[in-house]
Structure 1
């Protein structure tokens, strides 16, 4: 038997799950809005940016998974041990604020979907999202695999929704591969560059890194090099799926809206515009996919908050109480803002600004930890990976700062 009582001879598919759990963070409502605007404004020209951002996501999530496998500790636990004083408390505070901001963006997408599909008032829809906290607690009674299976099923719903959208939109296949893998001159246009920066700058979110480094610990046991190979496969498969979904969102927006000269700025506008252009099935598929995206991403957001609190404090917390507090910390101010007339997209943008400020305090320690031989041992990043990780981290930081200054 290996660590945690797991046999060494588990089949490769047993290790799949953590990557799919975090992949929903790359298909969340905020990413939907960005891809919709990119496709409706610039057609297929920015499809390459979706590919590049997905490659960066795979890199950082692979580093987070490797940290958990190599050390048996998640990112939050490492930060508590490495920074035990005031700096550690500051990192904990920034991470906790980021978890609340993440939850705000995710549940707002779910609330928009409930509003569109059922006609519920936005404030009521926002409060109904609290119920998903109890859904996760119920699923966890059956083990971590049950939660992962539920999230994977929701990811499948999102993917199926966009299979329907692609079928109805009939985008031209010629040229899609070129746009997906080669940069387009549109990137040199100021407007195109700004939207491209929006896609890239919002790619990596702190909660995914914390959650992934913790979730891989459920797979430890036996040969850790073998475990990591399978978890790396899990990460690549899951985030490739996220790339396909985000690419499909942009392609559908280009085929449907750009061809008609329509520019889409928010999720509700896309929903209401799809019906007269492609029929009610297209709008329904969009709404159901958005609901699945919001439900799955807000679920992983509350799971990540538990990882952060327990890792930094070094003690177990009541899962139900903690997740409910995180959700209430996001729902209460959001409800007040909606009542006062704020738009859901404005709240999502605000959450992204908060995450932009916090991102360096998560990303840079992760890169440093994964190149530390005392932490990683034989799993330490080789020189080429260290260079790639630092360049990518600095690029993400620059893009977020650029967007904050220009926004």
Structure 2
């Protein structure tokens, strides 16, 4: 039986997930990577995006094939699920830290609000989620897509103003650079990996695709989910690459190392003009709001999956936000830089990834769960290799630093 629903009915879950791939954490790591090392780490953005597409497709397949999300499977099939739950919660808090700090910095730049006050005002975005959910999951997806379109439009303008060298972009986007062996570059590369391949997105994607079940046979739903993943994460790759490219073309070319989002905003004005700076701040605000919305939604899905659906959405979202805001507010009060906190949160996410990727590779390879959707030998090899590669990168980082 073929689906009678048009393509647009199936698109959305991966675009919702793609927000996490262009969040303020990506901004912080890509801005510092581009300003410090030029185009050298652009290959890491490409590689991370390809890895993300592959792994997100596995998460979508798990939800489509079984009708259960990743958190539900972890609770049902692993005796160590309390440890996995704890790691997932830490990842949720680290994710939320990057998201709301981005919103806080944007409010500070646009309205002149103190960073601590702006950080606490970000708790109001929880109300946005609650309001949108009254109109169904599709309304939430469309609003988030509107934020994504604003971010993409802003960076089209930024790249046009920066005028990077096209041949240098192509070379560094698809070929690795020896600079990666530098300890500082490796630290930022892992930050890019953590910012691009984020744990909460696997929980969210495997849960969100379930909203498309019933529209068509599972095989058809999965084919559209693959297309959705390629389109959504392909767009995120372009935005992530654009962030690093602008930093390299504008800041690195001037010998400037950007270690703060506000510094990037202020420096853009004399280098590219006030329009570029305004576009930067508005895109940062849109990115933070969108990714904060999807991040807290993912936290709810994680708690519901691990605790058997007994979670109260508003309470979970507020608790996650408070767990991130309290230490962040203290750090800001003590004068620690916002961008440093964001980059650190992305490295924490990179260390949490194996606790999500290893179960994902295992579950999607089980024929008793997945039936005909189970990973074939080559896919299984790639899944385990990707998870193992992340573990080895983290160990290498520890050894080098």
TM-score (norm 2): 0.95
What SS class does the counterpart of residue 315 from structure 1 fall into? Answer: coil
Q: Which residue is 1:252 aligned to?
A: 246
The answer to whether residue 12 in structure 2 is matched with residue 17 in structure 1 is: yes
CA contact (8 A) 2:194 2:349 kept: no
1:361 to 355, 371, 381: 355
Q: What does 1:219-258 align with in structure 2 at a 5 Å threshold?
A: 219-221=212-214, 222-258=216-252
CA contact (8 A) 1:200 1:399 kept: no
The answer to whether residue 367 in structure 2 is matched with residue 370 in structure 1 is: no
Query: Larger deviation: 31-40 or 225-234?
Result: 31-40
TM-score (norm 1): 0.93
CA contact (8 A) 2:34 2:252 kept: yes
User: Is the alpha carbon distance of 1:131 and 1:201 closer, same or farther for their aligned partners in structure 2, counting shifts above 3 Å?
Assistant: closer
Cα distance in structure 1, aligned partners of 2:314 and 2:184: 44
CA contact (8 A) 2:64 2:218 kept: yes
Q: Deviations over 1:61-95 (max 9, x none)?
A: 11100000000000000011102x4x222222221
How far 1:189 moved relative to its partner? 4.9
Cα distance in structure 2, aligned partners of 1:172 and 1:357: 34
The answer to whether residue 67 in structure 2 is matched with residue 72 in structure 1 is: yes
RMSD after superposition: 1.8
Cα distance in structure 2, aligned partners of 1:249 and 1:241: 13
Gaps of 5+ in 1: none
Q: What does 1:201-350 align with in structure 2 at a 5 Å threshold?
A: 201-221=194-214, 222-350=216-344
User: Is the alpha carbon distance of 1:268 and 1:398 closer, same or farther for their aligned partners in structure 2, counting shifts above 3 Å?
Assistant: farther
Cα distance in structure 2, aligned partners of 1:49 and 1:291: 25
After TM superposition, what 4+ stretches of structure 1 lie above 6 angstroms from structure 2? none
2:127 to 121, 131, 134: 134
User: Is the alpha carbon distance of 1:187 and 1:322 closer, same or farther for their aligned partners in structure 2, counting shifts above 3 Å?
Assistant: closer
Cα distance in structure 1, aligned partners of 2:187 and 2:210: 38
Cα distance in structure 2, aligned partners of 1:352 and 1:42: 18
1:50 to 23, 28, 45: 45
CA contact (8 A) 2:100 2:292 kept: yes
Query: Larger deviation: 317-326 or 359-368?
Result: 317-326
What SS class does the counterpart of residue 45 from structure 1 fall into? Answer: coil
Q: Deviations over 1:311-348 (max 9, x none)?
A: 11112422222212221222222222222222212322
What SS class does the counterpart of residue 174 from structure 1 fall into? Answer: helix
Cα distance in structure 2, aligned partners of 1:340 and 1:174: 44
Query: Larger deviation: 62-71 or 313-322?
Result: 313-322
Cα distance in structure 2, aligned partners of 1:353 and 1:45: 19
What SS class does the counterpart of residue 44 from structure 1 fall into? Answer: coil
Q: Deviations over 1:112-169 (max 9, x none)?
A: 1111111110111011101110001100101000110111111111101101101211
Q: Deviations over 1:27-61 (max 9, x none)?
A: 11111122112222232232222111100011111
User: Is the alpha carbon distance of 1:56 and 1:288 closer, same or farther for their aligned partners in structure 2, counting shifts above 3 Å?
Assistant: same
Q: Which residue is 1:196 aligned to?
A: 189
1:39 to 27, 34, 37: 34
User: Is the alpha carbon distance of 1:310 and 1:194 closer, same or farther for their aligned partners in structure 2, counting shifts above 3 Å?
Assistant: closer
CA contact (8 A) 2:191 2:343 kept: no
